Amino acid sequence: MPQAMAYIRKEFVPLSEAKVGVMTHAFNYGTACFEGIRGNWNSDDRTLYLFRVREHYERLKNSAKVLLIDLPQSADELADLTTRLVGMCDFEEDVYIRPIAYKSGEVVGVRLHNIDSDLLVFVTPFGAYLDTSRGARCCTSSWRRVADTGIPARAKVTGIYVNSALAKSEAVLNGFDEAIMLDESGHVSEGSGENLFILRKGRLITPPVYGDVLEGITRDTAITLAREELGVETEERPIDRSELYIADEVFMTGTAAHLTPVVEIDHRPVGDGQIGPVAGRLQELYFDAVTGRLPKYRHWCTPVSPRVAAAQ
């Protein structure tokens, strides 16, 4: 029977047993970094495909360096550990894997040095984060993206996501699906948990990695698919807020959000207010890639066959 599982303190345990104490440094001060990894269920071959696991762990190790967190395992070792963990769960549906490298010491005091670290990984079923089929309605947020000189966006630090939560709730409570955040210079940065692309005159444009954005793995996937499958190049440069209003198409990318077209921004329709042809085709390619249906990109996917299915 399927069961959510976790890895903590070097042990595999049921998720319900994965606990940390109230004095844990990461809980009190946000001194942790994390990743989000999708497992995409392919019902045709009854296999979960974990998407770009190694790349996620390479990024986690870089984030851990920023926070002085000891993460001694290699990216390959962490990927193998995660594949084993997912296999224990026997899920036959889309899942979300959350690795967290955190300051586990029960210590009071603001600092990063001389505090014990640990790794937690858990798996849970996870469906759609945004409605990818109808497109998202977005607003530009009044909350500015935290600059690299404050908390670096390229490190997925748990504490910085308060910034994202403020923007997300502002958007949803005002009737939108998602927020688009600007940086301190007023240029487009990213969504509350997604990178952003616009299409103008047949060319994709996305904010550069030095623009206080996460170096997104789904972002890189979209750039690759656009170039190799559609012949569409991507330019990385600053984007003005007003460019959002005159773009031919807009879409967002992220592990949780997949590839989600944007159909409205600040009560203005994007293009004709429908999902555009480039975003629509990229979305199809993306979903085929992450479910192992495109042989050319199978190297991105790590298959995990549930033991329940294997025994039948």
Span 104-131, pLDDT tens digits: 999 999 999 999 999 999 999 987 778 7
More confident residue, 132 or 278: 278
More confident residue, 181 or 309: 181
Bridge partners of residue 264, in order along the sequence: 137, 269
The domain of 85 spans: 5-127+295-311
281 domain-assigned: no
Pair type for strands 47-51 and 37-42: antiparallel
70 and 167 fall within a common domain:
no
151 and 234 fall within a common domain:
yes
Question: At 273, phi and psi to the nearest 5?
Answer: 80, 5
Strands (E), the chain: 5-8, 11-14, 32-34, 37-42, 47-51, 95-103, 117-125, 136-140, 178-182, 188-191, 195-200, 203-206, 234-236, 249-254, 258-265, 268-269, 301-304
31 and 56 fall within a common domain:
yes
Q: What is the CATH number of the domain that holds 88?
A: 3.30.470.10
176 domain-assigned: yes
Q: Please give the Cα distance from 18 to 108 (Å, whole number).
A: 22
Per DSSP, the three-state class of 279 is helix
Q: Please give the Cα distance from 195 to 85 (Å, whole number).
A: 28
Q: What is the CATH number of the domain that holds 231?
A: 3.20.10.10
Q: Please give the Cα distance from 9 to 246 (Å, whole number).
A: 51
219 and 105 fall within a common domain:
no
Confidence class for position 307, pLDDT limits 50, 70, 90: low
pLDDT at 127: 78
The mean pLDDT of the chain is 95
15 and 78 fall within a common domain:
yes
179 and 271 fall within a common domain:
yes
172 domain-assigned: yes
Active site residues: 156
Which of 246, 248, 237 has its CA nearest to residue 209? 237
Neighbours of 242 (CB within 10 A): 8
Segment 237-265 mean pLDDT: 97
95 and 150 fall within a common domain:
no
Bridge partners of residue 117, in order along the sequence: 103
pLDDT at 51: 98
Look-up of token digits 């060319």? 203
Ordered DSSP codes for 96-152 = EEEEEEEE-----SS-SSS--EEEEEEEEE---SS-TTT-EEEEE-SSPPPPTTTS-
pLDDT digits (tens, 9 = 90+) for 203-240: 999 999 988 999 999 999 999 999 999 999 999 999 99
pLDDT digits (tens, 9 = 90+) for 49-96: 999 999 999 999 999 999 999 999 999 999 999 999 999 999 999 999
pLDDT at 308: 45
117 and 151 fall within a common domain:
no
55 domain-assigned: yes
17 and 147 fall within a common domain:
no
